[in-house]
Chain A
Amino acid sequence: MKALSIKNLTKTYANGNQALKGISIDVEPGDFCALLGPNGAGKTTAIGIISSLVNKTSGSVEIFGHDIDSDLEAAKTHLGLVPQEVNLNLWEGVANIVRTQAGYYGLPRKLAEERTEKYLRELRLWDRRNDIARSLSGGMKRRLMIARALVHEPRLLILDEPTAGVDIEIRRSMWDYLQRINAEGTTIILTTHYLEEAESLCRHVAIIDGGEIIEDAPMSSVLRQLQREVFVLNVDGELREAPVLAGFETSLREDGDLEVVTSKDRHVNDLFAELDRNDIRVVSLRNKANRLEELFMGLVENKPGAEE
């Protein structure tokens, strides 16, 4: 049984926009899956259909074996959703929001109280439990939406850009928390524009563009497709021009750092050997672009029919 099984899902909006053109995705229980794609690719529409906020045109969706057409109530019981946009009642108290959501899932009052405290504490919102949601910062609102989505302890949690607009510290703490609940058994599907987030968190990646799935594979095998990698080297001393390193493309950046392109079949050791041979000492080294980002751009740009 799959945590999520989508078959030939299509969605055409009333204005004729075909947002999904027959996508199929399977997500295994316990997986941490990234659903990536440019703006307007169809990610949010797909999530809307899975969570029954959007009516599908055709196709099927099963959540832990429960079809959303024939067994919607059970399917919804297994699903938690953290939407892209803040959809909190901003005038409602923090604890009330979580407790009310527990009630909508049929949790008895006492259990609802316990879970509310548990998740508000875990997401570091317990001290703000009596404040209205409007008074929370952007990051706190995001954490409150996660607490609300978890209060019925769903087996599948979908997060639609949960870290958009939050600072790096909160983002890191959210990553830690998501990794923890994933390790405890919650299947997670994440959409994000921060591809380093997807690369570091997710074991599976599906890329959607123009309403179609253009990649659906384990993260490791997707990253293996990368044919090249670009490093930026901060070197000791000043280089007047880019050195010629056998087997590597080099260029000098405006800030004086050295940019080196390596191909998939070369080792980084070879690069350092070449640098040694040219008497260049490296102070620090970093990736120019996130690897997944590079791959993502390549896939989207090379897609048949992509605009020139």
Chain B
Amino acid sequence: MNLSLNLVAIRTLIHKEVSRVFRIWVQTIVPPAITMTLYFIIFGNLIGRRIGTMDGFDYMQYIAPGLIMMSVITNSYGNVVSSFFGAKFGRHIEEMLVSPMSNGAIIIGHVAGGVIRGLGVGLLVTVIALFFTRLEVAHPFIMLSMVVLSSTVFALAGFINALFAKKFDDISIIPTFVLTPLTYLGGVFYSISLLPEFWQGVSKANPILYMVNAFRYGVLGTSDINIVHAYAIVLLFVAILFTACLMLLNRGVGIRE
């Protein structure tokens, strides 16, 4: 494999993906900003004042890391799935497929684009959160590494979704019926210690719970789960999903007849 060729190709693809995010900023940046502002106003401010504290933090403070992570996850996923499927649908994916760039480079370029959008939107939501509450970062390395890794997991998942998708409906099914429920049940708005023991066990089968809690630990220093378990699970997901993406792309699933 020609490394320098692939590095140029990856840089080109990332540049294209980031340009796309800014070109359609009304679709990519504005909606999460508005949605998260509403979350902070309604859940954090209006309802949160009645809830009081959770794990020793104001409710607004408690949900802020979860909402940041939620926006990172949905935007990383959404960017890759819509960009890659759009390229399939418009057939300009052929620009990449006829070129000598490797399948690994195609995955890395798209995933990096998704991560950059996820982190960018996450940063924007963080700034919005600061208008409503105070956030002091307890463990910066854990916060940053966990947000990057989680974003990578969902960018890879979005890539797989886009590979299998045949029509636009197929790229909204997973976010609507899988991603959103898992995110809401992943400890964004509550500590799982509030749940009966059985549902605590069920919740621990949700990978988003580990990401949200590890990120919250990085920001606030509190978590429902063991941080080491969170890293193990997230790294495992990155490895499995990247391998799956590569195998699917090598076999031409969804892109070559």
Contact = CB atoms under 8 A, between A and B. Distances in A.
Q: Decide whether A and B are members of one complex.
A: yes
B2 A73 contact: yes
A85 B92 CA distance: 11
A76 B90 contact: no
B12 A103 contact: yes
A77 B91 CA distance: 20
B98 A106 contact: no
24 contacts: A14-B257, A52-B256, A54-B256, A55-B252, A55-B256, A73-B1, A73-B102, A74-B100, A76-B99, A77-B100, A83-B94, A85-B91, A87-B90, A87-B95, A90-B90, A92-B92, A97-B95, A103-B11, A103-B13, A104-B12, A104-B101, A106-B2, A106-B8, A107-B8
Nearest to B23: A91
A92 B17 CA distance: 11
Interface string B150-175: 00000000000000000000000000
Interface string A42-67: 00000010011111000000000000
B98 A52 contact: yes
B116 interface: no
Interface string A223-238: 0000000000000000
Interface string A142-169: 0000001000000000000000000000
B23 to A, nearest CB: 7
Interface residues on A, range: 35 or more
B92 A87 contact: yes
B134 to A, nearest CB: 41
Interface residues of B, number: 30
Interface of B: 1-2, 4-6, 8-9, 11-13, 15-16, 19, 23, 87, 90-92, 94-102, 252, 256-257
A106 B4 contact: yes
B166 to A, nearest CB: 14
A70 to B, nearest CB: 13
A245 B15 CA distance: 72
Contacts of B6: 106
Nearest to A148: B95
Interface in A78-117: 79, 81, 83, 85, 87-92, 96-97, 100-108
A212 to B, nearest CB: 20
B27 to A, nearest CB: 12
A13 interface: yes
Contacts of A55: 252, 256-257
B9 A103 contact: yes
A106 B95 contact: no
Interface core residue of B19, B90, B257 (most chain A CB under 10 Å): B257
Interface string A1-22: 0000000000001100000000
Contact of B100 (A48, A53, A105): A105
A74 B9 CA distance: 15
Contacts of A72: 100
B46 to A, nearest CB: 40
Interface of A: 13-14, 48, 51-55, 72-74, 76-77, 79, 81, 83, 85, 87-92, 96-97, 100-108, 148
Which 8 A-B pairs have CB atoms at the shortest separation, nearest pair first?
A: A103-B12, A106-B5, A104-B99, A87-B91, A76-B100, A89-B92, A73-B100, A106-B8
B105 to A, nearest CB: 9
B257 A101 contact: no
Nearest to B11: A103
B9 A104 contact: yes
A14 to B, nearest CB: 7
B92 A104 contact: no
Contacts of B92: 87-89, 92
A53 B98 CA distance: 7
B16 A100 contact: yes
Nearest to A83: B94
A8 to B, nearest CB: 20
A51 B98 contact: yes
Contacts of B252: 55
B107 to A, nearest CB: 14
Contact of B12 (A83, A87, A92, A100): A100
